DNA sequence: GTACATTATGTCAGTCGCTGACATTCGTCA
DNA sequence: TGACGAATGTCAGCGACTGACATAATGTAC
């Protein structure tokens, strides 16, 4: 599994200057835990960006975050999950966006609008999403994880929402999954176009254009 | 990554009684090579079916095929690829099927008919496809491989064919990928329904029904 | 504030997928 | 037959990940 690793230009932003808010409600213990978690993500982002995903060792990352490798794996189940540490946030945001659409709205419109809320997420975490996309383009392991874990988790949210709206069982009626599959393909195209543009193009616009094509599918007869 | 491993009933067929044809044209050397390859696949199928994917070691498989572990990895790049050893056959068959559709046929019909040719493959290798599907349902590693490698390779064939038919660049026009995504979702549903039925339902029928829903997507507005 | 329970972390040894390097065997072909 | 090359075996090693146990920091009850 040989891999071409990315070489970032010196000007590129490497890490999200994350807010590091650390809910002041919680005690010192959970704050410290959150702190090491943040440190690990930052260390991973930096090393992945500078050396590439495959060339970076989990031991490297742990050392840079000044913790043991064992601690890294207590916070993240896999090396890939370290790169997509905010997966759950994005997924839940998508879920809420889907749930908040009016019930009388056409389903394709609901899906489209919700996917656009995902675009907002991309612009809010621009650097990180670009890094993830670039690493996915250069490392098969990351690419596979993105498809099989990240995107799949989004797809499930769409399937559940569409099935609920239609009032059908998604294991029997194929439409929820087919809609979700089409929508995910649209998002992938938008992501790819956005990535090759280096994040300069407007993700929202790209995503909207791709999603438009779903409704016109039947023209292909 | 804890995994529930499948327990097959004694009556279940474990291995494809593969033809083991070994092109008589070739010499003894390539015949022996093909033979060890077949042995490895058979050993893998048997152990995966009886012990589950994760619980089976590549060393186990190699020993059962009476070769060294190193030889296993000379024939197959990963443990997963051993389970999907015939991936290329299926992919190329899909490609040919897509290429053989008349140029004046509506695109959705071409895609649908080609996916049905994929259904023939499923019935031809019924036991193996069932085993793969069951293992994918029980092991995240297999499931991820199926999505990110196997199904993705099919998806690329559809994208290329549809883009060629439309005469567009699939990196710019989203329609080829969206069609492919919808078609792959349909196939996934059919596979799942077929699997839970234990392979008793007619895959062709399931697949056709799921593919039908693509054209009616715009009804969801 | 002292004592006890919890929890995050470190350390260490080990498994398993996978690879490079080198030696050996065996089919092929002149 | 003898030389060449392809397939395999052997061995050592890397890297992701895990279980077990010890330790230290934190939270809590009194």
The string of pLDDT tens digits covering residues B58-90 is 999 999 999 999 999 999 999 999 999 888 889
**How far apart are the C-alpha atoms of A68 and A59, rounded to whole Å?**
8
Confidence of residue B29 (pLDDT cuts 50, 70, 90): confident
Asked if A145 has any chain B CB less than 8 Å from its own CB, the reply is yes
Cβ pair B82, B174 in contact under 8 A: no
**Using the beta-carbon criterion (under 8 Å), do B1 and A182 form an inter-chain contact?**
no
Of the listed ranges A25-34, A60-69, B45-54, B130-139, the one predicted with least confidence: A25-34
Work out the average pLDDT over B195-210. Answer: 92
Q: Which residues contact A45 (CB under 8 A, 6 or more apart)?
A: A14, A15, A16, A83, A128, A131
How do residues B147-177 score in pLDDT, each as one tens digit? 999 999 999 999 999 999 999 999 999 999 9
Asked if A78 has any chain B CB less than 8 Å from its own CB, the reply is yes
A26 CA: nearest nucleotide by C1': D27
Nearest-neighbour CA in chain A from B174: distance (Å):
5
**Using the beta-carbon criterion (under 8 Å), do A185 and B188 form an inter-chain contact?**
no
CATH assignment of B85-220?
1.10.357.10
**How far apart are the C-alpha atoms of B112 and B210, rounded to whole Å?**
10
pLDDT > 50? residue B5: no
pLDDT, greater one: A7 or B221: B221
Q: What is the CA radius of gyration of chain B?
A: 19
CATH 1.10.10.60 in chain B is located at: 1-83
CATH superfamily, domain at B1-83: Homeodomain-like (1.10.10.60)
pLDDT > 90? residue A50: yes
Nearest-neighbour CA in chain B from A129: distance (Å):
19
CB-strand contact B172/C, under 7 Å: no
Work out the average pLDDT over B191-203. Answer: 93
Give CA angle at A70 (A69, A76), nearest 5°: 90
Contacts of B143 in chain A (CB under 8 A): 148
Selected from 1.20.1250.20, 1.10.10.60, 3.40.50.460, 3.40.250.10, the CATH number assigned to the domain covering A28-78 reads 1.10.10.60
Q: Which CATH class is domain A84-220?
A: mainly alpha
**Using the beta-carbon criterion (under 8 Å), do B108 and A78 form an inter-chain contact?**
no
**How far apart are the C-alpha atoms of B162 and B133, rounded to whole Å?**
27
How do residues A121-165 score in pLDDT, each as one tens digit? 998 999 999 999 999 999 999 999 999 999 999 999 999 999 999
Position of tokens 């995903």?
Answer: A53
pLDDT > 50? residue B97: yes
Q: What is the mean pLDDT of chain B?
A: 88
Asked if B61 has any chain A CB less than 8 Å from its own CB, the reply is no
């Amino acid at each position: 599994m040989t891999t071409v690793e990315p070489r970032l230009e010196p000007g590129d932003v490497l890490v999200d200057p994350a807010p590091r808010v650390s809910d002041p409600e919680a005690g010192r213990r959970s704050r410290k835990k959150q702190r090491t978690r943040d440190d690990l993500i930052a260390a991973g982002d930096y090393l992945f960006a500078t050396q590439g995903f495959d060339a970076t060792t989990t031991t490297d990352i742990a050392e840079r975050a000044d913790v043991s490798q064992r601690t890294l794996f207590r916070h993240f189940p896999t090396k890939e999950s370290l790169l997509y540490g905010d997966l759950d946030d994005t997924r839940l945001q998508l879920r809420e966006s889907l749930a908040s659409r009016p019930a009388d709205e056409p389903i394709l419109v609901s899906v489209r609008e919700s996917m656009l809320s995902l675009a907002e997420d991309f612009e809010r975490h621009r650097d990180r999403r670009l890094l993830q996309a670039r690493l996915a383009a250069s490392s098969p392991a990351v690419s596979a994880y993105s498809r099989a874990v990240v995107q799949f988790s989004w797809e499930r949210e769409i399937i559940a929402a569409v099935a609920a709206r239609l009032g059908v069982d998604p294991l029997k009626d194929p439409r929820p999954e087919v809609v979700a599959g089409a929508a995910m393909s649209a998002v992938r195209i938008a992501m790819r176009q956005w990535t090759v543009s280096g994040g300069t193009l407007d993700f929202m616009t790209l995503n909207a254009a791709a999603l438009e094509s779903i409704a016109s599918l039947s023209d292909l007869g």
